[in-house]
Amino acid sequence: MIDARGLSCPGPVLMVQKAVKEGNPASLEVLVDDKCAVENITRFAKNNGYAVAVADAAGDYSLTLSKK
């Protein structure tokens, strides 16, 4: 799990990018609190073969990335 709450872009995307490159996980959960980060992580994930599910809980977003 990556907790990137409190960070603005590109920080959260870089954290996800590093995790994907180092471990090529089948799934990954990411927590963010910025809508822009949700959009950028989603774009990155889809471009790298992941499906993305987003849950919004009062301004905190939980993204679940799953390898297609």
pLDDT in tens, 28-58: 999 999 999 999 999 999 999 999 999 998 8
Average of per-residue pLDDT across 4-26: 95
Domain map of the chain by residue range?
2-67
Q: What share of the chain is helix, strand, coil (3-state, %, to 5)?
A: 40, 35, 25
pLDDT for the residue numbered 43: 98
Let me know if 36 is a catalytic residue. no
Residue with tokens 């990155």, as numbered in its chain: 44
12 preceded by a cis bond (ω within 30 of 0): no
What does the alpha-carbon distance between residue 10 and residue 17 come to, in Å, rounded to a whole number?
10
Rg (CA), the chain: 11
The dotted CATH code for 2-67 is 3.30.110.40
2, 7, 9, 14: the active-site residue:
9
pLDDT for the residue numbered 59: 85
